[in-house]
Copies of this chain bind each other. A is one copy, B any other.
Amino acid sequence: MNYKIALIPGDGIGPEIVAEAKKVLDKVCETYGHSFSYEEVLLGGASIDVHGVPLTEEAVETAKASDAVLMGSIGGDAKTSPWYKLEPSKRPEAGLLAIRKALNLFANLRPAYLYDELKGACPLKEEVIGDGFDMIIVRELTGGLYFGERKTVEENGVTTAVDTLTYNENEIRRIAVKAFDIAMKRSKKVTSVDKANVLDSSRLWRKVVEEVAKDYPEVTLEHMLVDNCAMQLVHNPGQFDVILTENMFGDILSDEASMVTGSIGMLSSASLNETKFGLYEPSHGSAPDIAGKGIANPLATILSAAMMLRYSLDLDKEADAVEAAVQKVLTEGYRTVDIMADGMKQVGTKEMGDLIAERI
């Protein structure tokens, strides 16, 4: 089959890791007889350099015309990168929020999984890890505080700033449906996280999630307050299957969960709209400090490409093959420096990409 893929290399280590993912996708094409055409899209620093703004209308159109978007990472050291040319209030956050909205990517899926081989990197003790953990955070991505009205005003010499957290029931319903659909393919448990003891938006959240749950009698629904969830992720991560939450809570909790695995360099993510279309990117950042050194871990991006094959292109067999290749390479003892351990074989970004491609 032929597919159009938009590539956003982005900032920092982005271009290096996207190159390895592309290498792996090329091998998938060769092995399974597909053809992917790639179109590059500028976002963040790369776009500011060329166009003076972090995202252009044209870039959005190119992304929309594709079957899926694969992204490296956005963000740079604000003091040295082109970001610095923009007013802080014009940055949020250099095109990321704008592209999420323009493509209607309301569902952000972030798996946080502990690889058996990488238990050593996990910051938690053996007895807390228990039998390991494997959760997915389903974060609402186009509503809430990030997209509410905001203003900064001065009155009688006193400056006041306001942000607004708004959710309507339709926005909540569609993300809840996504979470329950995903739970049906997993361990059938949804933990919906809110602050319903204080916030109106959280009380509506809880009500709508309960309505949606009625259509999924096989799924166990549990509500958890966000402060408690932040504790439970450290205390007993094994209790979670699907965590469903709003934008800001999801931002905080998904990063905490990534760090709890100890191997954020391994974690992929998908941001989906109502169709099969999605944007795929590693959970980690642009790591400007190691950009260009050839040591970045490309596995999160390669696994994001696998998610893309599965969710947007319906190529399940191919996605399985990529994931199996990653598993194989880990079992064989290859590691980039971020997950390096005694007795393992250290490799660079390109070598890691080669190792995966060879195993497909």
Contacts and interface: CB of A to CB of B under 8 A. Distances in A.
Interface string A293-307: 000000000000000
B165 A145 contact: yes
Contact of A167 (B161, B195, B235, B252): B161
Given A88-B196, A97-B198, A197-B93, A162 B158 contact: no
Count identical subunits in the complex. 2
A89 B203 contact: yes
Interface string A241-268: 0000000110111111011100010000
Nearest to A147: B198
A353 to B, nearest CB: 26
Given A234-B259, A252-B252, A259-B234, A170 B158 contact: yes
Nearest to A258: B231
A202 to B, nearest CB: 8
Contacts of A218: none
Interface of A: 88-89, 91-93, 97, 122-125, 128, 145-146, 150-152, 158-170, 195-201, 203-205, 226-228, 230-235, 248-249, 251-256, 258-260, 264
Nearest to A249: B252
Contacts of A195: 248, 251
A234 B260 contact: yes
B252 A235 contact: no
* Interface SS of A by simple majority: helix
B200 A161 contact: yes
Contacts of A166: 160-162
A305 to B, nearest CB: 24
Nearest to A152: B200
A198 B230 contact: no
A204 B152 contact: yes
B124 A161 contact: no
Contacts of A169: 158-160
A123 B259 CA distance: 14
A200 B235 contact: no
Given A152-B200, A230-B255, A231-B256, 17 more contacts: A88-B196, A93-B198, A123-B128, A123-B234, A124-B124, A124-B125, A152-B203, A152-B204, A161-B204, A161-B205, A163-B165, A163-B201, A226-B252, A227-B254, A232-B259, A234-B259, A235-B259
B168 A160 contact: yes
A198 B255 contact: no
A170 B234 CA distance: 35
